[in-house]
């Protein structure tokens, strides 16, 4: 489960960076923030679900 959350977080952050480079700053920032929230390290919105 941890690996899957980490992979989703990495994909979201990469898509966020691509969006920022393409000029969609707001959407890119939102994707990066969501990626940081989903990631298993630090703050995770799924931390209470998985032990």
State the sign of the Cα–Cα–Cα–Cα dihedral 33, 2, 44, 49: positive
Q: What is the C-alpha to C-alpha distance for residues 46 and 22, in angstroms, rounded to an integer?
A: 30
Predicted local distance difference test score (pLDDT) of residue 39: 73
51 vs 5, higher pLDDT: 5
2 vs 36, higher pLDDT: 36
Q: What is the C-alpha to C-alpha distance for residues 16 and 39, in angstroms, rounded to an integer?
A: 14
pLDDT digits (tens, 9 = 90+) for 12-45: 999 999 999 999 999 999 999 888 888 766 555 5
**Predicted confidence band at 9 (pLDDT cuts at 50, 70, 90)?**
confident
């Amino acid at each position: 489960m941890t690996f899957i959350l980490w992979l989703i977080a990495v994909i979201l952050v990469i898509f966020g960076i691509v969006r920022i480079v393409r000029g969609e700053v707001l959407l890119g920032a939102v994707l990066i923030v969501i990626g940081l929230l989903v990631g298993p390290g630090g703050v995770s919105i799924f931390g209470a679900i998985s032990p």
